[in-house]
Structure 1
Amino acid sequence: MKPDYKAFRTRLTARIPSLSRRVEDGARYILDHPDDVVALSMRDVARRAGVSPATLTRLTDAIGLKSWADLKALHVEHFRRVPPAYAERAAELISRDNSGELIRACFAAAKANLDHTQGANAVNDFTAAAATLATARRVFISAFLSCRGPGHTFAYLARMLRDNVVMLGEGSSLAADLQSLGPEDAVLSVNFRPYGREIDQVADAVRASGARLVCLSDSRATPLTPAAQSVLIFAPESPSFFPSLSAATAAVEALLAAMLATMGEEARARIGRIEQQLYSSGTYARAAEAERAPGQPPDQRKPR
């Protein structure tokens, strides 16, 4: 019986915690870039993964395959039946000496990240994740450190669609928030390496409670993905000193659009009511006020 690609990925993901650091790096690369396994030699895959070819040989031994050729054949057979979900990876950015070049490189990287993220996730991945979040009793958002930004974006906009959207660790301890997690709830996790220590607490709570999990991450091999119903990938590459979150934010916005489509007229009507309340409360400027020139008092408006 031929090895099953899906079973291989499940087995490899489960073995990640027991692998050595270098073998783990190779495993994560193979999980996130299966098209490279098909198109490139073992030496080239090793170079892109930042490991040695011998490390990939140790990896094949660790997961019970006889050789790299067997691993490659498994991927080739899969991609003959299923079109690759990944866009072509952008060429590596060349180091630049001046700030102008660096700024252009940052925008180029953001565009490449958006293309990669769109290609790495099927439309059905977003619709399935949206259905999980739209139908849950409560939605908890696990987003810490720099991922707090995309997490807050999701929370702000999701609250326009539905009630009971909670940012974990905001106003109370993480442990206290997770204590109430139940099987009718859902968790959206946003994370990338190096992962914060909170990710293990969330993983344990999800497993113990039976809550559904949507994982938005830089990798398909995180401590959370074995427990996830849906895994969405974003690319964080950047020529700057810190990973880029442009693609993570775009993925969050796409997920929210899919939620609105799933929830339909009820959500649309709710958005209309909230928007009207924002105008009525003075949070938004009224149209007549918006027409006034900056600094111009109300009785000196320009004629229509």
Structure 2
Amino acid sequence: MQPDGADTTTTSDLDAINQALAACYPELSQQLKLAARYVLDHPVEVAFQSIRKSATAAGVTPSTLMRLAKRLEFESYEQFREIFQAAMQAGPIELSGRASSLKAQANTDDQVFLDVGDAAFDNIGRLFTPDTQGKVRQAAQRLLAAGNVAVIGFRDTFACAYHFAYVGRIAMPNVQLIRGQEGGLLTELAPFGEGDLVVAFGFDPYCAETVRALDIARANGVEAIVITDTLRSPLVPGASITFNIATSTPHFFPSILSAITLIEAILAECVAYGPESLVDNVTRFESRMRDLGAYIDIE
């Protein structure tokens, strides 16, 4: 777990810490779970706060944070924290200027509108990091290599799954949306097995049907790409690639803005680095839709 040297420290090291914490989380004591939860959910604070301040915020003692670092085979908490500091220095694209511009232009009486704007800019900014860039490329490679691709997302994340499947299928006909309607979940997932891939979306509150669908797919040997909001999510265990995206919003349900943007990035990567046949598929789809009168042209 511990990196060989400070010079090699990147955001991939932070991702390794997060994955290790997610894997061991169910087995931790209650105090270590509190510490792990804080580390997973507040990487910026862990990077720049003292151990005492982070411990207070997490509701544990400083020694508990040190035990957590030791659990991940770091010799000291300081070594552990250095990984977070290095990752934050290669952090998200700065969008605070755009948020400030929004505040300056908008009616300051409408605070809800401004809060939604702030959250949107922050969520997108957190998405575009070197770590996510690397995982987007990995996800595209897995999608291009897969025999068939199942896309899962129920209730509030159905919009994400539908968008991924609809747009993805234009270029890659092997992409299929899993609807699970009228008790058909098992029937829809039965054809998927080794060499196939499932892409699953799930944010708090997590949908039981999504977890069940993932369990069924994994039991059949299907690899999983998971898009969720925390590495403590029940969708994470067993995933080949996990995207932990920001979903904060003043709205009463999690924001799907980052998820939709991530979908666009992954599918764009597939077309950009996939075979020429994907571009041909897109061209044929558009031509067919126009022939069928699906689009209305403006003069």
TM-score under structure 1 normalisation? 0.77
SS of residue paired to 1:176:
helix
Q: Which moved more, 1:62-71 or 1:234-243?
A: 62-71
Cα distance between partner residues in 2 of 1:44 and 1:269: 56
Written as runs of structure 1 = structure 2, the 5 A alignment for 1:54-203 is 54=61, 57-58=63-64, 60-61=66-67, 64-65=70-71, 70-76=76-82, 86-87=91-92, 100-119=110-129, 121-171=131-181, 173-203=184-214
Is contact 2:95–2:121 with CA below 8 Å preserved after alignment? Answer: no
Distance 2:207 2:69 in 1: 27
Shift of residue 46, structure 1, vs aligned partner: 4.8
- Between stretches 227-236 and 153-162, larger displacement belongs to 227-236
- Which of the two has higher C-alpha Rg? 1
1: CA distance between counterparts of 2:278 and 2:175? 14
Distance 1:15 1:63, change over 3 A: farther
Instruction: Return the match for 1:219 from 195, 218, 230.
Output: 230
Report the CA distance between 1:283 and its aligned residue: 0.8
Q: Which amino acid aligns with 1:75?
A: R
For 2:58, give the aligned amino acid. Answer: V
| Match among 275, 279, 285 for residue 290 of structure 2 | 279
Aligned-residue CA RMSD in angstroms? 3.4
Q: TM-score, normalised by structure 2?
A: 0.78
Shift of 1:25: 5.1
CA deviations over 1:53-100 (Å, ceiling 9, x no partner): 33x7546546754999923422315755x7755338999x9xxxx971
Structure 1: stretches of 5+ with no match in the other structure: 292-304
> How far apart in 2 are the matches of 1:14 and 1:277?
46
Q: 1:70 to 1:162 in 2, by over 3 A?
A: same
Q: Secondary structure at the match of 2:195?
A: coil
Q: Secondary structure at the match of 1:180?
A: coil
Structure 2: where are the runs of 5+ without partners?
5-12, 100-107
Q: How many residues are paired up?
A: 279
CA distance in 2, matches of 1:145, 1:136: 26
How many angstroms apart in 1 are the aligned matches of 2:198 and 2:33? 26
Question: Is residue 31 of structure 1 aligned with residue 31 of structure 2?
Answer: no
